[in-house]
Amino acid sequence: MTSASNATQSSEQAELPTGPRHVAIIMDGNGRWAQMRGRPRLFGHHAGAKRVREIVEACPDNGVKYLTIFAFSTENWKRTQVEVSGLMKLFQRYITKEAKALSDDGVRVRFIGDRVRLNAKLVEMMDNLEVMTSDNDRVHLTIALNYGGRDEVARATKRLAQDVATGKLDPETVDEETLPKYLDTYVLPDPDLVIRTSGEARISNFLLWQSAYAEYEFIDTLWPDFTAKEFSKLTSKYGTRDRRFGAVSA
């Protein structure tokens, strides 16, 4: 190989991205952020929704192709009726307000989670936004709505069992590569980095299967205060980690 070829190869290697391709975020701290300001919890949720756009817009500059955000969990139904109702209205408002901007910015939007319990109007809006942005590829934004990792695995297992029962799937061929094909995230790569804001150090039933080898960052910043600058700092830090996936470094 010539020296010129070596130089080209070295240049190409140097340009390979070292940051995470897929970042997942547990957006925690909206309620506390509002209460610290003497405001109702929903005020914090509205502030948090505004923060989403800044982080989505920061993805391309940080080499992030896929962004998955935890908007509403299967456990969040336990909150007060006022808060749950307010959140459902907020989701509809977010879609109405942001749909065109997301589409124009080349963002493809997907929703994961069980839609059965969501109201019909919201589900229709979700479906329409997915179709509207289906040809986009600049950033893939996945919104986890009425989502729980255990619930997702249970639903996936049920679908897998149905395929076995009808003869579509040979049970002898089932392995760890089979179940992911039945998960809500079957078209997405696994997350490389999972960030949780607000100082809590738990994963709260989020992407349990997919995050088996993800790196985690638990930070004290409340979600409405989480900036693109801090996002960039965390994605850059990811590039310094030695990811061995169970192996030993040479």
Active-site residue set: 28, 76
Amino acid identity, position 163: D
139-147 vs 66-73, strand pairing mode: parallel
Q: Which has the closest alpha carbon to 179: 196, 192, 164?
A: 164
CA separation for the pair 242, 249 (Å, rounded): 8
Report which DSSP code applies to 198: T
Tokens linked to 236: 């850059």
6, amino acid identity: N
Inter-CA distances, 111 with 56, 158, 198, Å: 15, 20, 24
Instruction: Provide the 3-class DSSP secondary structure of residue 74.
Output: coil
* Alpha-carbon gap, residue 246 to 107, rounded angstroms: 34
Tell me the C-alpha distance between 163 and 175, whole Å: 14
The answer to whether 153 and 183 have CB atoms below 8 angstroms apart is yes
| Beta-carbon-side half-sphere exposure of residue 157 (alpha carbons within 13 Å) | 8
